[in-house]
A = this chain, B = another copy of it.
Amino acid sequence: MSKPYGLKYFKSYAKVIMSKSLTPRSQDYSKWYHDLIVKANLAENSAVRGCMIIKPNGFSIWEKMQAQLDKMFKATGHQNAYFPLFVPKSLFEAEEKNAEGFAKECAIVTHYRLKNNPTTKGKLMVDPESKLEEELIVRPTSEAIIWNTYKNWIQSYRDLPILLNQWSNVVRWEMRTRLFLRTSEFLWQEGHTAHASKQEALKEAQLMNEIYADFAENYMAIPVLQGTKSESEKFAGAEITYCIEALMQDGKALQAGTSHFLGQNFAKAFDVKFATKSGTLDYVWATSWGVSTRLMGALVMTHGDDQGLVLPPNLAPIQIVIIPIYKNQEELQRISELANQMVDQFSSKQYRIKYDDRKNQKPGFKFHQYELEGVPLRISLGPRDLEKNQVEISYRLTLEKELIPVDQLIPYVEKKLSSMQKEMFQKALKFQRDNTFEANSFDTFQDILNQKGGFVLAHWDGREETEKEIQAKTKASIRCIPKNQTVEKGTCILSGKPSNGRVVFARAY
């Protein structure tokens, strides 16, 4: 590692690091996660129980995710729309399994007006006369309100398919919350499609599972397992839930996106029939699918290190930051000239670059800040660099520094950013593979979970009661029945009953 700028900057750097450093992952992974999110200004808790504030640093990453997913949805024929925030109780309860699944975590609007509190000046109270005839549920998911609408839109096969998505907020009342991973309100996208055949709906749900996997692996650099959920883990109201599952650095799994084949359940609940090509009447087939701000948690926990966030270049709001190192105004001016040229050059090539010439912060502070925030490449630029026609580039993934001649900067950065995206994926993939195990006995199964965590492939007899007992004994749940599951005769690790293939267990977020 070259240190061309001498002790002074590195002392200020060291000082900042000391005062602002994160709890190491090895010491307390959960505290490290929370510290990182707060210190990197991604999000924080709000005054509203269980609801978070997504700060600009966090939101700008979410915007990049949104933009890419939106592009992928549109490229596959989906359009955006917007449905109401509220679901009248009578619609909410129409699909019984769905209603049952969400009933215990609903925010419920019962009144529509406040009035002056007669006993306390300046205070307000709920006006009892504004009680609603029918309560409104703040949507925990929108199948009910949407299928009640589709009912009016669909008469014949000619009206199908309907391929809609919406970007929205939803509320699921949570008792124990964690920033991004589990909050009472969260942001997400929810796709809701209607089809004339079972086959087409199945294909749609599978397509979205592929798109989610593509997005996770190629944009977030997070390797995922694809598969289906067991009966007890699937979405309330679904026939089949397809999922992508990621593995975090502490060996716990995280469900990163689900797509549901809903069969005709919602069509039946809302009486949505269509005239088929052959002139008969049939119920419409449905899917729904979603990913949420939870992905932000997956991003942090997959790539973060003890210095902070590490952002895959494809999603980094700032890919390159330039920091000037100078003693006087004249030096700053010369540096700024070159830096601004670089900004123009890289911007014109669609790179996201920032020149941070804030005068009230020292270079050490800035170095630390951008490491914490996970900016892929940091260029420092001082008078000696100008003389030698070079820049110092620090690579966030390894924290290594290199001196690069100015005339080789563009090809260097292009190559480095593209290789970083791949390296991050490979690193995470290696971690996932190193932490995927097979267990052939319940003892081994427990040992792996207690000592290492990770994905554990094991035989299961397919019975819900076995699944529950395993979970009660080990806190591990079935994350998925893998896509392309290998047919393999075996015996269930708990019951000893026969099984035809392994499923993936893990302790999970």
Task: Flag A273-285 by CB within 8 Å of B: 1 or 0 each.
Answer: 0000000000000
Q: Determine if B145 and A46 form an interchain contact, defined as CB atoms under 8 angstroms apart.
A: yes
A residues 432-475 with Cβ under 8 Å of B? none
Q: Determine if A113 and B173 form an interchain contact, defined as CB atoms under 8 angstroms apart.
A: yes
**What residues on B are CB-neighbors of A109 within 8 Å?**
107-110, 138
A residues 66-98 with Cβ under 8 Å of B? 79-89, 91-93, 96
Residue from the list B47, B59, B149, B171 in contact with A82, Cβ < 8 A: B59
Q: Determine if A46 and B149 form an interchain contact, defined as CB atoms under 8 angstroms apart.
A: yes
Counting chain B CB atoms within 10 Å of each CB, the highest count among A84, A99, A109, A164 belongs to A84
Residue of B nearest to A79 (CB): B56
CA distance A83 to B59 in the complex (A): 11
Q: Determine if B86 and A173 form an interchain contact, defined as CB atoms under 8 angstroms apart.
A: no
**What residues on B are CB-neighbors of A149 within 8 Å?**
46-47, 53
CA distance A80 to B55 in the complex (A): 8
**What residues on B are CB-neighbors of A126 within 8 Å?**
108, 110, 135
Q: Is A360 an interface residue (CB 8 A)?
A: yes
Q: Is A48 an interface residue (CB 8 A)?
A: yes
Q: Determine if A107 and B136 form an interchain contact, defined as CB atoms under 8 angstroms apart.
A: yes
CA distance A168 to B82 in the complex (A): 12
Counting chain B CB atoms within 10 Å of each CB, the highest count among A79, A115, A158, A168 belongs to A79
Q: Contacts A59-B81, A60-B79, A145-B46 given; indicate if A93 touches B169 (C-beta within 8 A).
A: no
Q: Determine if B187 and A124 form an interchain contact, defined as CB atoms under 8 angstroms apart.
A: no
Q: Determine if A108 and B106 form an interchain contact, defined as CB atoms under 8 angstroms apart.
A: no
Residue from the list B85, B108, B122 in contact with A171, Cβ < 8 A: B85
Q: Is A104 an interface residue (CB 8 A)?
A: yes
Q: Is A51 an interface residue (CB 8 A)?
A: yes
Residue of B nearest to A115 (CB): B103
**What residues on B are CB-neighbors of A138 within 8 Å?**
85, 109, 138
With an 8 Å Cβ cutoff, the count of chain A residues facing the other chain is: 62
Q: Is A305 an interface residue (CB 8 A)?
A: no
Q: Determine if A80 and B93 form an interchain contact, defined as CB atoms under 8 angstroms apart.
A: no
**What residues on B are CB-neighbors of A331 within 8 Å?**
none
Residue of B nearest to A113 (CB): B104
Residue of B nearest to A122 (CB): B96
A245 to chain B, nearest CB (A): 26
Q: Determine if A93 and B113 form an interchain contact, defined as CB atoms under 8 angstroms apart.
A: no
Q: Is A123 an interface residue (CB 8 A)?
A: yes
Q: Determine if B48 and A169 form an interchain contact, defined as CB atoms under 8 angstroms apart.
A: no
Q: Is A217 an interface residue (CB 8 A)?
A: no
Q: Is A410 an interface residue (CB 8 A)?
A: no
Q: Determine if A87 and B48 form an interchain contact, defined as CB atoms under 8 angstroms apart.
A: yes
Residue of B nearest to A96 (CB): B122
Residue from the list B80, B88, B145, B169 in contact with A60, Cβ < 8 A: B80
Q: Is A111 an interface residue (CB 8 A)?
A: yes
A140 to chain B, nearest CB (A): 11
Residue of B nearest to A89 (CB): B124
Q: Determine if A99 and B124 form an interchain contact, defined as CB atoms under 8 angstroms apart.
A: yes
Q: Give 5 A-B contacts (CB < 8 Å), ordered by A residue.
A: A54-B82, A84-B185, A93-B123, A103-B124, A106-B113
- A85-B171, A104-B113, A107-B109 provided; 15 other pairs, C-beta below 8 A? A48-B84, A53-B83, A56-B81, A85-B185, A86-B107, A92-B124, A93-B123, A103-B113, A103-B114, A105-B113, A106-B112, A107-B136, A108-B112, A108-B113, A114-B137
Across chains A and B, which 3 residue pairs bring their CB atoms closest together, nearest first? A51-B84, A56-B79, A54-B82
